[in-house]
Amino acid sequence: MNDFAASITFDQLGRDPCPIFARLRREAPVVLLPKLDLWMVTRWDDVRQVLSAYESFTSAFPSLATQIFGEGSVLRVEGNAHADLRAAVDTRFAHERIERAATLTREAARPYAGELRSRVELMSSYFEPAASTALARFIGLPDVDTGTLIRWARDLSAGMSNFMADPGVHERALAAATEIRQTIEPCARKAADRPDGSVLSQLLHSGCPSDTVRTVEKIMPTFIEILSAFLEPAAGAGLTLLALLQHPTQMQAVRDDPRLIRKAVHETLRWQSPNGALTRRAAKDVLLAGQIIPAGATVMAVIASAGRDESIFTDPDTFDINRAPFPNLGLGYSRHACLAAPVVGGIITALLDVLLEQHPWLSLDPGQPHNLHGWKFRVLTNLHVRIGDPARGS
């Protein structure tokens, strides 16, 4: 037993995960953390192995996600059941729709950016409402106000990383899922009779033989899961802006050439990925990097650590938007990789583009430090900035 691994607690991980992952990569890259009752896998090759060896590591197991979304969401099924649900909605998020997603995001973002004045907290006043509004339009969501969408996504994702089993957090996540079912079911029943081109309608009809539809009960867990991801682009945009503001030379380069925003987004998904770790279950005893992971064990594929693996990335702890192009695992890997992966980069880029177009001179507010925590999800709860160029007194 590795003494360091034996000492790790959820609290330590939540506060500052990167140094812990770095030491695990060096000393114990595949290891049981007894206090957490889970195995952690921290090196690039092993993480990819966990995410792609479906016979050994399955995504289909009872989890917080199944308790909250219900059984059978796209993330928690494998094989044909997974292929069927993915195929129903993949076209909606395909590469051909990047421009559509970016255009809707710009349209949704402009009014929010126009409202920003001198000192603001950007997550709640810009990134979250702008991204949720854009996504609702992109997937063709029936009329739900932005505040409700944000609350649903926040409560659902807090519930999914509720490892400390806080009953209040769990209750709020269950309540959000119930509210979504009550709100969406009537629309789903209508769309089951009359396809309307929305994601909900695609989930019901797409790929089904004519005159048959999937049941509302079958597709609801996947629909709730999609809504649970609504704040992810806002998280990606907030983390990218934070990284740029902490690296003023790179911020200036982006100001001079906004085409670099795209590179900054990609680098952030490696350096400070909003999703830190992906959960799987060992389907049988598995030998990985010299360790036997027993059947039934919970396994964390730590993509945030893979992104800083020194055998893959030069100087991995450095944020550098000029890195040579190289894939990273920030949007997952293999068949469960992010459904929205083709369009997410464009959405985040558009959010930042509109913001910097209207407010090129942003700086971190020294009086109000940002709050960044969590390891399964890296959560930026606030990002206070000043608008105006301090050097020019504006």
| Interacting residue ranges for ligand HEM, rule: CB under 6 A | 74-75, 86, 135, 225-226, 229, 232-233, 236, 274-275, 278, 330-332, 336-340, 344
Quick one: 17 or 236, whose CB is closer to ligand HEM? 236
**Residue 265 Cβ, how far from ligand HEM at the closest point, in Å?**
9
Pairing of strands 38-41, 298-301: parallel
* CA angle at 89 for the pair 84 and 94, rounded to the nearest 5°: 125
CA dist 277 and 51 (Å) reads 11
Query: Which stretches of 28-97 are DSSP H helices?
Result: 44-52, 64-69, 79-90
| Residue (of 155, 345, 339) closest to 264 by Cα position | 345
**Residue 76 Cβ, how far from ligand HEM at the closest point, in Å?**
8
Residue 244: C-alpha distances to residues 235, 236, 266, 284 (Å): 14, 12, 12, 44
**Residue 338 Cβ, how far from ligand HEM at the closest point, in Å?**
3
Quick one: 68 or 344, whose CB is closer to ligand HEM? 344
For the chain, the maximum distance between any two Cα atoms, rounded to a whole number of angstroms, is 66
Q: Measured at CB, which residue is nearest to ligand HEM?
A: 332
Quick one: 250 or 328, whose CB is closer to ligand HEM? 328
**Residue 239 Cβ, how far from ligand HEM at the closest point, in Å?**
9
**Residue 118 Cβ, how far from ligand HEM at the closest point, in Å?**
28
Quick one: 232 or 267, whose CB is closer to ligand HEM? 232
The answer to whether 118 and 387 have CB atoms below 8 angstroms apart is: yes
Place of tokens 């590469």: 95
How many CB atoms are closer than 10 A to CB 362? Answer: 22
**Residue 270 Cβ, how far from ligand HEM at the closest point, in Å?**
11
**Residue 119 Cβ, how far from ligand HEM at the closest point, in Å?**
26
Quick one: 122 or 331, whose CB is closer to ligand HEM? 331
CA dist 304 and 276 (Å) reads 5
Tally of CA atoms within 13 A in the half-sphere of 60 that contains its CB: 13
Tell me the two tokens of residue 40: 């952690």
Quick one: 220 or 226, whose CB is closer to ligand HEM? 226
CA dist 342 and 213 (Å) reads 27
Quick one: 260 or 269, whose CB is closer to ligand HEM? 269
Tell me the two tokens of residue 83: 């292929």
| Residue (of 247, 261, 272, 374) closest to 328 by Cα position | 272
**Residue 303 Cβ, how far from ligand HEM at the closest point, in Å?**
6
Quick one: 85 or 293, whose CB is closer to ligand HEM? 85
